[in-house]
Structure 1
Amino acid sequence: MDLSEKSAQNMAYMVQAITAKLKMVNTAALQSSQFSIDRYDDLFDLYEMVMKKNTFSPNEMQAIVEELGSLKKD
């Protein structure tokens, strides 16, 4: 998948990958449709950071979830 192309499909993929990697239980609360394509680069940066790590501390998980929340549409 070419994530350099800004698309809703790529955003959906990244959100799904992040929630899977973090083993988030309530994934329904985080839908790709809640994110604006204008925030694609920010989501991509977060995606890359999450995918590079193998484990996350509770504080890191909290920060990632908060960052995802801040990227949602207003």
Structure 2
Amino acid sequence: MDLTQATAENMEYMIEAIKTKLRMASGAAMQASAFPLEKYEDLQDLYEMVMSKEHLSISEVEAVASELGKLRK
């Protein structure tokens, strides 16, 4: 998947991957449509950080969830 292009489809892919990796119970609340395309690079940075880690601590999961909240519309 070419994530260098800022598209709604790529945003949805990254959000779904982050939700899966974090095993977010409230994942249904994280709809890709809630994220503006202007925040694509920020989301991509967060995605790359999450995917680079084998395991995330509870505090890391909380920090990622907080960042996702800040990126929403």
Smaller-chain TM-score range?
Answer: over 0.9
Q: Aligned pairs, how many?
A: 73
CA distance in 2, matches of 1:55, 1:2: 24
Query: Identity rate of aligned residues, in percent?
Result: 51
CA distance in 2, matches of 1:28, 1:56: 20
Structure 1, unaligned stretches of length 5 or more?
none
Structure 2, unaligned stretches of length 5 or more?
none
Please identify runs of 4+ aligned residues in structure 1 that moved more than 6 A. none
| Cα deviation, residue 25, structure 1 | 1.4
Residue range with higher mean Cα deviation, 24-33 or 38-47? 24-33
| Cα deviation, residue 10, structure 1 | 0.2
CA distance in 2, matches of 1:2, 1:57: 28
Residue identity in the other structure for 1:71: L
Residue identity in the other structure for 1:61: V
Please give the residue correspondences for 1:55-74 in structure 2 after superposition, counting only pairs within 5 Å: 55-73=55-73
Scaled by the length of structure 1, what TM-score is found? 0.96
The equivalent of 2:34 in structure 1 is: 34
Give CA-to-partner distance per residue, 1:7-61, whole Å, 9 cap, x none. 0000000000000011111211100000000000000000000000011111111
CA distance in 2, matches of 1:26, 1:36: 20
